[in-house]
Amino acid sequence: MHPVLDDLIALLKLERIEENIFRGDSRDIGSAQVFGGQVLGQALSAAQHTVEDRVAHSLHAYFLRRGDMKAPIIYEVDRARDGGSFSNRRVVAIQHGRPIFNLAASFQNPEPGLDHQAAMPDVPGPDGLKDIADVASEHLQSLPEKMRRFMTAKRPFDFRPVEPVNLVAAEPQDPVKHVWIRTVDQLPDDLALHQNLLAYVSDYELLGTSTLPHGLPFGRGKVIMASLDHALWFHRDVRIDRWLLYSMDSPNASGARGLARGQLFTEDGQLVASTVQEGLVRVIEKERNDRSDPRLQV
């Protein structure tokens, strides 16, 4: 298996410390703090370790504090309920004695029922589209060092945006975005693993959709973005090692917060998951020299 993907899978498995307590490490992907998708995927993994024969169908999470990449993260699972058809789990992620994240997840015994879904957007397929790494390589010399490091880091996923991407001089556009996503290598037939990886990758790209109408100057380091909450629903079984279209839109931005929604479709049009996220979006007009500036805090 591709070493970067293999490392991510190991990262999501977690170490069991006690019956309902797990420990996870972090990886630096070039962000200012622990990547939110990593904590989301690890928390879901911790919950899954305490459930048998039931499949995750929804999760709701809040990001409380910045994660420290140099310290382990402890995940405490509360087995809130095991009913006849559903199980509920609450997970708290802790660093340095304080919660940095909490999650509620629900699991269900698979069963048949009513079936309908939204139509898949009519957009070009992944074949022939450039990966985001190839797009970034065309602008590397014009990007700040931090963004350059983020854009050139080895990733466990392929990202092929449908719409043109301008990393240097963004222009205002409709708050709609489509990106084809899949892992860089094949995975075993393990639905829980595919769900964990989907949770991880669902935090990429989503919040940025709320900035598209404003043409924000990301390349000049004057935009602060951070996830505040994240919701994810699994509608059908999913394989993240096959192309999924991440269709995103943003219905609102106000109060220094942006709201974005996403739907994930297979190539043949099945809707496998939906997401909603709200996040902090601050534009800093002056130089960011003083880290005590309250505008820099989440």
pLDDT tens digit string along 77-93?
999 999 999 999 999 99
pLDDT at 295 over 60: no
Catalytic residue among 227, 247, 263, 274: 227
195 catalytically annotated: no
Q: For 138-177, what is each residue's pLDDT tens digit?
A: 666 666 666 666 666 788 999 999 998 766 667 899 999 9
Average pLDDT over residues 266-275: 98
| CA 241 – CA 254 distance, rounded (Å) | 36
Average pLDDT over residues 256-272: 98
pTM for the model: 0.91
6 catalytically annotated: no
Q: Which amino acid is at 289?
A: N
Q: For 22-33, what is each residue's pLDDT tens digit?
A: 999 999 887 778
pLDDT at 294: 45
Q: For 193-238, what is each residue's pLDDT tens digit?
A: 999 999 999 999 899 999 999 987 665 557 888 999 999 999 999 9
| CA 179 – CA 31 distance, rounded (Å) | 20
pLDDT at 287 over 60: no
Domains of the chain, CATH where assigned: 3-110+129-296 (2.40.160.210)
DSSP-derived secondary structure letter, 206: T
Give 206's Cβ-side CA count (13 Å radius).
30
Alpha helices in 18-144 (DSSP H): 36-48, 132-137
| CA 263 – CA 247 distance, rounded (Å) | 5
Catalytic residue among 26, 42, 106, 277: 277
pLDDT-derived band at 291 (thresholds 50, 70, 90) equals very low
249 catalytically annotated: no
Catalytic residue among 42, 203, 241, 274: 203
